[in-house]
């Protein structure tokens, strides 16, 4: 029998070394320079430039309702290339985007976000096809509503693996590509109001924990990666009126969600796109480590 592995003693802690974060100096030669403080003489040009989106984006979960609306909005604001990562996407959905935006390169890859080797290869392939990766928008996620006393541990692990670990895997792979490119970029995780408060009336502890973890993850990455010109932020949507929240079986829950919201309703998918565009656009160059709540005021009561 092989001898048991011997872990380092507590004494070894006194001789360890740990890395330290490095911040940008914000100079004109850094990757975080201040933009020119100018006012456009043509108001139409100024308005267009303010929310212009440059380069190419990867959108995970981009074939879902919220993802497709976000893709459409980014393309409207100048995105040149789009790669959708998802496990489900129809040729009809992709063709519709390609027809509306004939000058943009729009592609799809079927990937598992929890597989780091697959994601690393998919990001490299995206950079090869599109020329660069300048924006990452992570919509991918799963939810499970079950009493915590009855929750299978396999379900807990699956939800955190997809929602949290999968988001990190994608962010790490994209950030490595951005560092290689040397032009910075934008990473946005889609968190949730579930990251801020316990949902009612449905029990969904694993989902809530997975989304609250994204808030801390974006803060950590915002601090670590700013020197590379990479901005990392989150958007926290409230209950959105998508197919995931339809059906007679949850009609009672929908009523409760609406009644507990100051706006008296759920959100419509297009209402999320303003935050998506702002964070990815030239308007967001000094927004880093932020969380934008889009929930009709539900979080305040």
pLDDT per residue over 13-59, tens digit each? 778 888 999 999 999 999 999 999 999 999 999 999 999 999 999 99
Residue 7 in tokens: 């872990």
Q: How far is CA 193 from CA 143, 235, 240, 292, in A?
A: 13, 9, 11, 10
Q: Is 211 a catalytic residue?
A: yes
Question: Is 85 a residue whose pLDDT tops 90?
Answer: yes
Task: Specify whether 286 is catalytic.
Answer: no
**Residues 181-213: pLDDT tens digits?**
999 999 999 999 999 999 889 899 999 999 999
pLDDT digits (tens, 9 = 90+) for 70-83: 999 999 999 999 99
Query: Is 180 an active-site residue?
Result: no
Is 83:59 a contact under the CB 8 Å cutoff?
Answer: yes
Among 186, 211, 218, 228, the one annotated catalytic = 211
Return the C-alpha torsion angle 99, 244, 266, 197, nearest 10: -120
Report pTM. Answer: 0.93
Residue ranges per structural domain of the chain: 51-300
Mean pLDDT of 229-257: 85
- Active-site residue among 132, 167, 207, 218? 207
What is the CATH number that goes with domain 51-300?
3.40.50.720
Torsional class of 101: left (φ above 0), alpha (ψ -120 to 50), beta (otherwise): beta
Looking at 167, 186, 192, 281, which residue is catalytic? 192
Do 59 and 51 meet the contact criterion of CB atoms below 8 Å apart?
A: no
């Amino acid at each position: 029998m092989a001898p048991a592995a011997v872990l380092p003693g507590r004494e070894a802690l006194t001789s360890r070394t740990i890395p330290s974060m490095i911040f940008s100096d914000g100079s004109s030669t850094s990757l975080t320079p201040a933009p020119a403080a100018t006012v456009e003489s043509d108001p139409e040009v100024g308005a267009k430039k303010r929310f212009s989106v440059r380069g190419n984006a990867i959108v995970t979960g981009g074939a879902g309702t919220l993802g497709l609306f976000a893709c459409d909005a980014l393309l409207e604001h100048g995105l040149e290339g789009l790669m959708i990562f998802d496990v489900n996407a129809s040729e009809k959905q992709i063709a519709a985007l390609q027809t509306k935006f004939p000058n943009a390169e729009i592609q799809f890859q079927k990937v598992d976000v929890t597989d780091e080797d697959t994601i690393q290869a998919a990001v490299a392939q995206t950079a090869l096809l599109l020329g660069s990766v300048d924006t990452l928008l992570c919509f991918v996620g799963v939810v499970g509503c079950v009493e915590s006393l009855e929750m299978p541990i396999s379900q807990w692990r699956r939800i955190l693996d997809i929602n949290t670990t999968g988001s990190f895997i994608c962010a790490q792979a994209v950030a490595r590509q951005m560092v290689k490119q040397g032009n910075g970029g934008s990473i946005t995780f889609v968190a949730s109001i579930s990251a801020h408060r316990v949902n009612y009336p449905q029990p969904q502890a694993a989902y809530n924990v997975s989304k609250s973890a994204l808030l801390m993850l974006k803060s950590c990455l915002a601090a670590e990666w700013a020197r590379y010109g990479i901005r990392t932020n989150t958007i926290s949507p409230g209950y959105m009126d998508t197919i995931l929240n339809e059906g007679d079986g949850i009609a009672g829950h929908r009523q409760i969600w609406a009644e507990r919201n100051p706006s008296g309703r759920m959100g419509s998918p297009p209402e999320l796109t303003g935050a998506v565009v702002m964070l990815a656009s030239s308007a967001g160059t000094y927004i880093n480590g932020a969380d934008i709540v889009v929930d009709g005021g539900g979080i305040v009561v």
